[in-house]
Amino acid sequence: MKTRILTLLCAAAVIAAVGCTKKTTGLIDVTYYATIELAGDNPYVVQLGSSYAEPGFTATLNGEDISGQVTVDSNVDTSSPGIYSVTYTAVNADGFSSSVVRDVYVLNPGGIDNVYMSHARMGSRDYNNLPIVISKVSDGVYELEDLCGGFYCYGRYPGYEPTYDFHADVQFSLAEDGSFIIKKIGNWYFKNSFNYENITGGYDAETGIFDYDFDDLLVTLTPLG
C-alpha cells in the first residue's frame, strides 16, 4: 500500500512539473525599454523659410547604444508658421516601443500668422504660457486656433481631447482699429455658450500683441520671435 501511494505521489509530481514547464515556456520575466534623450532645445525654434536641421538624439537599451535603430517621423513645414512635431521611436526585442516628441515652432516675426504664447484668465482661474497658432487663410483673413487662448483645452480641461473639442477655432479679419471681425466659428464644445459679438479689444500693430476679452474671459496673445 505504501509503495502504491509513493508511486502515485511521484506520478503526480512529474505531471505537476510538466504542467509548470508548459505554462512558463516562452515567457520572458524582464523586458528592457529603450531610453531616448534629445539633444538641442525642446521646443526647437525655426524661422519661417529656413530649413530644419535635426539637433540629434541618443538611444540606449539595457546599457547598449541603439541610436541607429531609432525611427524619426517629422511633419515640420518651414514654409508655414505653426507648431510641428518630430517623433522618435525605438522598439525592443519584445515589440514594446518607446517614443519621445520634440515640438518645433516655425516663427514669422512681425507677421499676424505666427506662434503666440497665451495668457488666459477667468475669475480665479489663470493660465499662462499656452502655445497658440494663428494661420493665414487668404489675404486679410486668418484662422485663430483657439479664441479662448487655451483656457479650456490647455488650462481647465487638459487631456480631454479628442473626445471633447475645446479649441474655439475661428476665422477672422481685422478692422482698421484692430478689432475682430469674426467670419467663421468652428464647431467646438462650448460654441453656443459664448456671445461672439461681445469681443472688446483686439490687435496692436505696434507690439504685435492680441489683447481682448469676451464674456468675462480675458486673453493676451504675445508673439514669439
Topology (CATH level 3) of domain 35-107: Immunoglobulin-like (2.60.40)
**Phi and psi (nearest 5°) for 67?**
-55, -35
pLDDT digits (tens, 9 = 90+) for 100-157: 999 999 999 999 999 999 999 999 999 999 999 999 999 999 999 999 999 999 999 9
Residue 25: per-residue pLDDT: 58
CB–CB of 219/200 below 8 Å?
Answer: no
Run of H or E residues at 107: strand 97-107
**Cα(12)–Cα(132) distance, rounded to whole angstroms?**
69
Whole-model pTM above 0.75? Answer: yes
Contacts of 50 (CB under 8 A, 6+ apart): 78
Residue range(s) occupied by CATH 2.60.40.10 in the chain: 35-107
Q: What is the largest CA-CA distance in the chain?
A: 107
Confidence class for position 177, pLDDT limits 50, 70, 90? very high
CATH code for residues 114-223: 2.40.128
Instruction: Considering the chain, tell me which residue range(s) the CATH 2.40.128 domain(s) occupy.
Output: 114-223
